[in-house]
Structure 1
Amino acid sequence: MLKIVKQAHKNLKKVAIVSENRSFTYQELIVQSENFAGLLLNKQTDLNETSVAFMVLPGFDYVRVQWGIWQAGGITVPLCLSYPIPSLRYTIENSEAKVLVVSPEFVELLQPLATEKSLRLIVLGKDDLLENKEEILLPVFDESRRAMILYTSGTTNLPKGVVTSHRGLNAQISSLIKAWKWSKNDHTICILPLHHVHGIINIVGCGLWAGACCEFLPNFSAEAVFNTFKEGKINVFMAVPTIYFKLISHWESLPPDEQTELTETMSRFRLMVSGSAALPVSVMEKWKIISKLTLLERYGMTEIGMVLSNPYAGIRYSGHVGYPLPGVQVRLADEQDHEISYTEIGEIQVKGTTVFNEYWQKPEATAESFTKDGWFKTGDVATVDEAGGYRILGRNSVDIIKSGGYKISALEIEEVLRTHNSVLDCCVVGIDDNEWGELVVAAIVPKNEQIDLTELNNWIRTQMPAYKTPRKYKLINELPRNAMGKVTKNDVKKQLFGNIS
Structure 2
Amino acid sequence: MLQLISNAFSHSKKTAIVDQFGTYTYKQLLSKSEQIASFLLNGRQDLEEARVAFMVSPGFDYVATQWGIWRAGGIAVPLCISYPFPSLKYVLDDTGAKKVILGKEYQEVLAPLQKEENIDLISIAAFNKDANFQALPELDAARGAMILYTSGTTSLPKGVLSTHANIESQISTLVKAWQWSSTDYTLGLLPLHHVHGIINVLSCALWAGGTVQFLHPFDADQVFKIFAEGKVNVFMAVPTIYFKLISAYESYSPKRQKQISETLSTFRLMVSGSAALPVSVMEKWKEISGHYLLERYGMTEIGMAISNPYSGERKAGHIGFALPSVEVRLVNENDEPINPGESGEIQIKGPSVFKEYWGKPEATQKAFTADGWFRTGDVAIQENGYYRILGRDSIDIIKSGGYKISALEIEEVIRTFPKIKDCAVVGIPDEEWGELVVAGLVAATDFDSKSLMDWLKTKIPAYKVPRKYLVIEDLPRNAMGKVTKNELKKRF
On whether the aligned pair clears a TM of 0.5, the verdict is yes
Query: Which residue of structure 1 aligns with residue 33 of structure 2?
Result: 33
1:297 aligned counterpart, secondary structure: strand
2:305 aligned counterpart, secondary structure: strand
Q: Is 1:340 the counterpart of 2:312 in the alignment? A: no
Query: Which residue of structure 2 aligns with residue 128 of structure 1?
Result: 127
Query: In structure 2, do the counterparts of structure 1 residues 2 and 83 end up closer, same or farther at CA, with 3 Å as the change threshold?
Result: same
Question: Which amino acid in structure 1 is aligned with residue 342 of structure 2?
Answer: E
Query: Which residue of structure 2 aligns with residue 96 of structure 1?
Result: 96
Could you give the per-residue CA deviations for residues 359-401 of structure 1, whole angstroms, max 9, x where no partner exists? 1111111110111111001000001123x21000111112899
8 Å CA contact 2:425–2:437 kept in 1: the answer is no
1:164 aligned counterpart, secondary structure: strand
In the TM superposition, residue 24 of structure 1 has moved relative to its aligned partner by 0.3
Distance 1:353 1:52 in 2: 24
Query: In structure 2, do the counterparts of structure 1 residues 374 and 358 end up closer, same or farther at CA, with 3 Å as the change threshold?
Result: same
8 Å CA contact 1:189–1:215 kept in 2: the answer is yes
Query: In structure 2, do the counterparts of structure 1 residues 172 and 436 end up closer, same or farther at CA, with 3 Å as the change threshold?
Result: farther
1:109 aligned counterpart, secondary structure: coil
Query: Which residue of structure 2 aligns with residue 231 of structure 1?
Result: 229
Query: Which residue of structure 2 aligns with residue 497 of structure 1?
Result: 469
Distance 2:255 2:63 in 1: 38
8 Å CA contact 2:425–2:438 kept in 1: the answer is no
2:235 aligned counterpart, secondary structure: strand
Query: Which residue of structure 2 aligns with residue 274 of structure 1?
Result: 272
Distance 2:468 2:313 in 1: 40
Query: Which residue of structure 1 aligns with residue 173 of structure 2?
Result: 175
Q: Is 1:85 the counterpart of 2:85 in the alignment? A: yes
Q: Is 1:284 the counterpart of 2:256 in the alignment? A: no
8 Å CA contact 1:50–1:75 kept in 2: the answer is yes
Moved more, 350-359 or 154-163: 154-163
8 Å CA contact 2:423–2:439 kept in 1: the answer is no
Question: Which amino acid in structure 1 is aligned with residue 87 of structure 2?
Answer: S
Identity of aligned residues (%): 54
Distance 1:314 1:98 in 2: 48
- 1:391 is aligned, of 383, 388, 392, to 388
8 Å CA contact 1:155–1:399 kept in 2: the answer is no
Correspondence 1:446-465 to 2 at 5 A: none
In the TM superposition, residue 436 of structure 1 has moved relative to its aligned partner by 9.5
Correspondence 1:435-450 to 2 at 5 A: 439=424
User: TM-score w.r.t. structure 2 length?
Assistant: 0.83
Correspondence 1:234-249 to 2 at 5 A: 234-249=232-247
Question: Which amino acid in structure 2 is aligned with residue 391 of structure 1?
Answer: R
Question: Which amino acid in structure 2 is aligned with residue 129 of structure 1?
Answer: N
CA-based RMSD: 2.5
Question: When the two structures are aligned, how many residues end up with a matched partner?
Answer: 433
In the TM superposition, residue 437 of structure 1 has moved relative to its aligned partner by 7.3
8 Å CA contact 1:274–1:298 kept in 2: the answer is yes
Distance 1:395 1:368 in 2: 17
Distance 2:422 2:388 in 1: 16
8 Å CA contact 1:277–1:437 kept in 2: the answer is no
Question: Which amino acid in structure 2 is aligned with residue 340 of structure 1?
Answer: I
Query: Which residue of structure 1 aligns with residue 300 of structure 2?
Result: 302
Distance 2:114 2:168 in 1: 32
Query: In structure 2, do the counterparts of structure 1 residues 151 and 21 end up closer, same or farther at CA, with 3 Å as the change threshold?
Result: same
In the TM superposition, residue 131 of structure 1 has moved relative to its aligned partner by 1.4
Correspondence 1:87-486 to 2 at 5 A: 87-116=87-116, 118-125=118-125, 127-133=126-132, 135-154=133-152, 156-386=154-384, 388-398=385-395, 432=411, 439=424, 480-482=429-431
Distance 1:156 1:364 in 2: 16
8 Å CA contact 2:328–2:347 kept in 1: the answer is yes
Query: In structure 2, do the counterparts of structure 1 residues 217 and 440 end up closer, same or farther at CA, with 3 Å as the change threshold?
Result: farther
Q: Is 1:74 the counterpart of 2:74 in the alignment? A: yes
2:395 aligned counterpart, secondary structure: coil
8 Å CA contact 1:242–1:436 kept in 2: the answer is no
In the TM superposition, residue 109 of structure 1 has moved relative to its aligned partner by 1.5
Query: Any unmatched runs of 5+ in structure 2?
Result: 399-406, 441-465, 472-484
Question: Which amino acid in structure 2 is aligned with residue 16 of structure 1?
Answer: A
* Higher RCO, Cα 8 Å, sep 6+: 1
8 Å CA contact 1:50–1:97 kept in 2: the answer is yes
In the TM superposition, residue 117 of structure 1 has moved relative to its aligned partner by 5.2
Question: Which amino acid in structure 2 is aligned with residue 256 of structure 1?
Answer: P
In the TM superposition, residue 325 of structure 1 has moved relative to its aligned partner by 0.6
8 Å CA contact 2:36–2:68 kept in 1: the answer is yes
In the TM superposition, residue 92 of structure 1 has moved relative to its aligned partner by 1.0
Query: Which residue of structure 1 aligns with residue 42 of structure 2?
Result: 42
8 Å CA contact 1:241–1:436 kept in 2: the answer is no
User: TM-score w.r.t. structure 1 length?
Assistant: 0.82
In the TM superposition, residue 95 of structure 1 has moved relative to its aligned partner by 1.1
Distance 1:163 1:344 in 2: 33
Distance 1:124 1:496 in 2: 51
Could you give the per-residue CA deviations for residues 34-85 of structure 1, whole angstroms, max 9, x where no partner exists? 0000011111111111111110000000000000000011111111111011
Q: Is 1:52 the counterpart of 2:52 in the alignment? A: yes
8 Å CA contact 1:345–1:381 kept in 2: the answer is yes
Distance 2:110 2:2 in 1: 30
Query: Which residue of structure 2 aligns with residue 18 of structure 1?
Result: 18
Could you give the per-residue CA deviations for residues 2-56 of structure 1, whole angstroms, max 9, x where no partner exists? 1101000110000000011411000000000000000111111111111111100
Query: Which residue of structure 2 aligns with residue 469 of structure 1?
Result: none
8 Å CA contact 2:24–2:60 kept in 1: the answer is yes
Question: Which amino acid in structure 1 is aligned with residue 56 of structure 2?
Answer: V
In the TM superposition, residue 141 of structure 1 has moved relative to its aligned partner by 2.1
Could you give the per-residue CA deviations for residues 443-471 of structure 1, whole angstroms, max 9, x where no partner exists? xxxxxxxxxxxxxxxxxxxxxxxxxxxxx
Query: In structure 2, do the counterparts of structure 1 residues 102 and 21 end up closer, same or farther at CA, with 3 Å as the change threshold?
Result: closer
8 Å CA contact 2:307–2:322 kept in 1: the answer is yes
8 Å CA contact 2:438–2:469 kept in 1: the answer is no
1:66 aligned counterpart, secondary structure: helix
8 Å CA contact 2:437–2:468 kept in 1: the answer is no
8 Å CA contact 1:122–1:128 kept in 2: the answer is no
Query: Which residue of structure 2 aligns with residue 405 of structure 1?
Result: none
8 Å CA contact 1:154–1:400 kept in 2: the answer is no
Query: In structure 2, do the counterparts of structure 1 residues 437 and 71 end up closer, same or farther at CA, with 3 Å as the change threshold?
Result: farther
8 Å CA contact 1:382–1:392 kept in 2: the answer is yes
In the TM superposition, residue 338 of structure 1 has moved relative to its aligned partner by 1.0
Distance 2:162 2:57 in 1: 23
Query: Which residue of structure 1 aligns with residue 445 of structure 2?
Result: none
Distance 1:327 1:80 in 2: 30
Query: In structure 2, do the counterparts of structure 1 residues 223 and 440 end up closer, same or farther at CA, with 3 Å as the change threshold?
Result: farther
Distance 1:42 1:342 in 2: 58
8 Å CA contact 1:480–1:491 kept in 2: the answer is no
1:243 aligned counterpart, secondary structure: helix
8 Å CA contact 1:144–1:167 kept in 2: the answer is yes
Moved more, 167-176 or 391-400: 391-400
Query: In structure 2, do the counterparts of structure 1 residues 328 and 279 end up closer, same or farther at CA, with 3 Å as the change threshold?
Result: same
1:247 aligned counterpart, secondary structure: helix
Query: Any unmatched runs of 5+ in structure 1?
Result: 402-428, 443-478
